[in-house]
Amino acid sequence: NAGVTQTPKFQVLKTGQSMTLQCAQDMNHNSMYWYRQDPGMGLRLIYYSASEGTTDKGEVPNGYNVSRLNKREFSLRLESAAPSQTSVYFCASSAHRRGGSTDTQYFGPGTRLTVL
Amino acid sequence: DAKTTQPPSMDCAEGRAANLPCNHSTISGNEYVYWYRQIHSQGPQYIIHGLKNNETNEMASLIITEDRKSSTLILPHATLRDTAVYYCIENSGYSTLTFGKGTMLLVSP
């Protein structure tokens, strides 16, 4: 079990370039999440997908798009990168069963993105 | 914004118990207290969660006060590898997590 995997691990972009961050989980989880973490800060939710085929905005969605490609994969796209998007991006997943009372999230190792 | 309050940093000697406090005075009846930690440059890692009763697992113990307004995470025998940022989070289990700045625990030899 690899858990949650993310690619790439590191990326440097120029302002205005686009890129897609990939995330995959092999735990058969229903829900997936994208967070960003700026230096010295806690994580902030960008987008999440409660189940395959659905996506919802989190706290800081501007400048990002997401695709829940299938149950395993959830991608994050930056259409026109800006220096303010320099951050570490974490993907997470959780079982989120209907009627469940608790929901633990499992995180990937992160993608370190620098926008010049 | 995070609804919990934690000290920004704490120190602990290796081999001693680390007791990390958290205030959650506005916690709702259906919200659990979750603890995660983040070792430098890694993704957050789940530690433990509880509703009313004290909980223990292989990583830690969680003590929740009777009024549920505060809790303490206990690492019984801290090691250098426990140096990390520890996050206390209220969550009903049906919503997304809100991370604050957490407590930076430094375990020293």
Nearest residue on chain A to B2, alpha-carbon basis: A42
Nearest to A107 among B44, B93, B96 (CB): B44
Task: Say what the pLDDT of residue B53 is.
Answer: 87
Task: Say what the pLDDT of residue B2 is.
Answer: 65
Q: Which of B88, B95, B97 to mutate to test the interface with A (most CBs of A within 10 A)?
A: B97
Contact between B43 and A40 using a beta-carbon 8 Å cutoff:
no
Highest mean pLDDT among A36-45, A76-85, A94-103: A76-85
How close does chain A come to B37, measured CA to CA in Å? 11
| Angle at the Cα of A22 from the Cα atoms of A16 and A27, rounded to 5 degrees | 160
Nearest residue on chain A to B101, alpha-carbon basis: A42
Task: Say what the pLDDT of residue B54 is.
Answer: 93
3-state secondary structure chain B: CCCCECCCEEEEECCCCEEEEEECCCCCCCCEEEEEEECCCCCCEEEEEECCCCEECCCCEEEECCCCCEEEEEECCCCHHHCEEEEEEEECCCCCCCCCCCEEEEEEC
How close does chain A come to B33, measured CA to CA in Å? 10
Residue A89 has pLDDT above 80, yes or no: yes
Chain segment A6-59, per-residue pLDDT in tens: 999 999 999 999 999 999 999 999 899 999 999 878 899 999 998 888 999 999
Q: Which of A33, A43, A59, A113 to mutate to test the interface with B (most CBs of B within 10 A)?
A: A43
Task: Say what the pLDDT of residue B1 is.
Answer: 61
- CB-based contact, B99 to chain A, within 8 Å: yes
Percent of chain B with pLDDT over 70: 95
Task: Say what the pLDDT of residue B7 is.
Answer: 97
How far apart are the C-alpha atoms of B13 and A8, rounded to whole Å? 37
From chain B, the residues in CB contact with A107 under 8 A are: 43-45
How far apart are the C-alpha atoms of B98 and A61, rounded to whole Å? 15
How far apart are the C-alpha atoms of B61 and A25, rounded to whole Å? 29
Confidence of residue B94 (pLDDT cuts 50, 70, 90): low
Nearest to B93 among A4, A59, A100 (CB): A100
Task: Say what the pLDDT of residue B30 is.
Answer: 81
Contact between B101 and A4 using a beta-carbon 8 Å cutoff:
no
Q: Which of A35, A22, A26, A116 is nearest to A76 (CA)?
A: A22
CA A111 from chain centre, in angstroms, equals: 9
Task: Say what the pLDDT of residue B93 is.
Answer: 63
Confidence of residue A95 (pLDDT cuts 50, 70, 90): confident
Tell me what the mean pLDDT of segment A83-89 comes to.
Answer: 97
Task: Say what the pLDDT of residue B98 is.
Answer: 84
Chain segment B24-83, per-residue pLDDT in tens: 888 888 888 999 999 988 999 999 999 998 999 999 999 999 999 999 999 999 999 999
Residue A99 has pLDDT above 60, yes or no: no
User: Which comes out higher in pLDDT, residue B2 or A49?
Assistant: A49
- CB-based contact, B53 to chain A, within 8 Å: no
- CB-based contact, B44 to chain A, within 8 Å: yes
